[in-house]
Amino acid sequence: MPPFFLMNRYRLTLFAIASLVALTASAFGQSRTIIIDPGHGGYDRGGVPGQRISEKDKCLDVGLRLRRLLMASGYRVIMTRDSDVFIPLPTRVAIANAYPGATFVSIHFNCASRAGANGIETYYYRSDSASLAQSIHRNVVSGAPTENRGIRRRGFYVLRRTSIPSVLVECGFLTNPTEGSLALTASYRETLAGQIARGIQRQPAPSRPLTASLRSVSLGGDFVRVPAESFSRSRKRSSKSARSHRSSKSSTKKKHKKSSEN
C-alpha cells in the first residue's frame, strides 16, 4: 500500500481515538466524581425531638453503601463525613466546591409531627441540577414501596451555596411506622443506595403518580411535576382553600423542624 494511503489511515485512526476520548470525557466529565453528603451527624441526631429512630446513622449507612456501589462502577467518591461526626454546613459546601465538575448528593430522611406523613421527596436549587433531581427521584420512587411526594426547588444551604450540580433526597419519613420500620432494615437501605446510584448514572426508571393528597391541592411555585417522558415545572396559583392551607402549614412545620439543614 502506498505511503500516502498508510498516512491517511494512520490519521483517521488517531482521529477516531481522539473522538472517542472526547466523547467519553464529555459523557462522564461532570459525573465521575461524586460528593456524598450524609446529613446530620455527631450531636445533630436529625429529626424532631423525641423521634424514636435516629436519622443521622441511617443517612450515613445509606451514604456508605452508595459509596461502595459507585466505586465499584468506577466513580471517584468523596464523603463529607464517613463516621458519626458533626460537619457544619459551610464545611460541607466547601468540600463540594473544592471539586469543580463533580456532582453533590445529600442524603436525608424526613420527619413530621403527623405519623401518617410518608413518601419520597427530592430537592434541587440550581437549574443545572434539575435533570439529576429527576433521575434520582424517579429511581428512588420506583424502588420504594411508598408514595411519590415529587420534586421541589428549594434554597437549602447545601443546594444554594454549592457551585456544582446538587441534589438533596429525602428517603422517607422515619416518623411513619411503615417507612421507619423499612429504614431499620439493612436490605432496604441497600435498595435505597442502589436506586440513588442508578439515578446518578442516569439509568431509566418508570414514573409513578404523585401522592393523591398532593395532586388535589395547590403546592406553590416551588413544586416540580415529573411527567412520564419530559421534565417540567408546575407553577399553579396559591389556593385559598382550607385544605391547601392545612397542607402548607404541615409542610412549614416539617421544614422548621429540619432547620438545622437550612
Pair type for strands 103-110 and 166-173? parallel
H or E element in which residue 149 lies: strand 148-153
> Which one is predicted more confidently, 40 or 223?
40
- Provide the residue type at 78 as one letter: I
pLDDT-based confidence at 223, cuts 50/70/90?
A: low
The C-alpha atoms of residue 71 and residue 119 are separated, in whole angstroms, by: 28
Q: What is the pTM of this model?
A: 0.74
What pLDDT was estimated at residue 8?
55
Q: What's the mean pLDDT in 225-230?
A: 43
What pLDDT was estimated at residue 212?
72
Other beta carbons less than 10 A from residue 204's beta carbon: 9
Q: What's the mean pLDDT in 203-227?
A: 65
What pLDDT was estimated at residue 49?
85
Grid cell locating 3? 505511503
- Provide the residue type at 102 as one letter: A
Over the stretch 240-259, which tens digit does the pLDDT of each residue have? 344 444 444 444 444 444 44
Over the stretch 55-101, which tens digit does the pLDDT of each residue have? 999 999 999 999 999 999 999 999 999 999 999 999 999 999 999 99
Percent of the chain with pLDDT over 90: 63
What pLDDT was estimated at residue 52?
93
In 3D space, the residue among 37, 135, 145, 30 whose CA is nearest the CA of residue 85 turns out to be: 37
H or E element in which residue 58 lies: helix 55-72
Q: What's the mean pLDDT in 231-238?
A: 37
Over the stretch 171-182, which tens digit does the pLDDT of each residue have? 999 999 999 999
> Which one is predicted more confidently, 208 or 262?
208
The C-alpha atoms of residue 230 and residue 228 are separated, in whole angstroms, by: 6
Over the stretch 104-125, which tens digit does the pLDDT of each residue have? 999 999 999 899 999 999 999 9
Over the stretch 142-168, which tens digit does the pLDDT of each residue have? 999 999 999 999 999 999 999 999 999
The overall average pLDDT reported for the chain is: 80
